[in-house]
Amino acid sequence: MAEGAKSAGGAPVEIDIFIEAGAWPAQAELTSLVDRAVAAALAETGVGGASELSVVFSDDAHIRTLNAEWRGKDKPTNVLSFPAFPFAKGGPLPPMLGDIVLASETVAREAALEEKPVENHITHLVIHGLLHLLGHDHETDAEAEEMEMIERAALARLAIPDPYA
């Protein structure tokens, strides 16, 4: 396990990265993208404390199975988040945040359709997935606006253009 991003309280967030399947950038590049994304999201949320996070880089077949099993949606999606513990927005980080799983074909297809670098899209989706683990959601318009505002600010910290523009 490698020490990854720092939480807003300066404590380390230990990040495990697994490349399970799919066509992804090299592990060193993914590690850098994930570390930067996590640090930016934690800075924007102001959440602090030591914790652990797992990020799994997989493919559409695996994420489709997970999506069907856990969400009742038998189709691939770009990212799924699985919290290890319930988390109250604004509270201290739990000892383990949970898992974020990304699907290579969907991520690559969306990046191409939106004409943006796949690295920017990966960064955005890691931030999006992490925000779900931190108690954010987008079920209502108000929740979606709040979540997108944090995503935009975190991406701006990394000089990545607004994905919602």
Which of the 8 DSSP states describes residue 93?
P
Q: What is the distance between the alpha carbons of residues 70 and 163, in angstroms, rounded to a whole number?
A: 27
pLDDT at 141 over 70: yes
Mean residue pLDDT across the chain? 90
Threshold 0.85, pTM exceeds: yes
138 token code pair: 């987008």
β-partners of residue 57 are 19, 102
Q: What angle do CA 114, 97, 47 make, to 5 degrees?
A: 85
With beta carbons less than 8 A apart as the criterion, state whether 101 and 66 touch. Answer: yes
Say how many domains are in the chain. Answer: 1
Q: What is the domain range of residue 25?
A: 2-157
CATH of the domain at 109: 3.40.390.30
Tell me the per-residue pLDDT of 76-101, one tens digit each, with 9 for 90 and over. Answer: 999 999 999 888 777 788 899 999 99
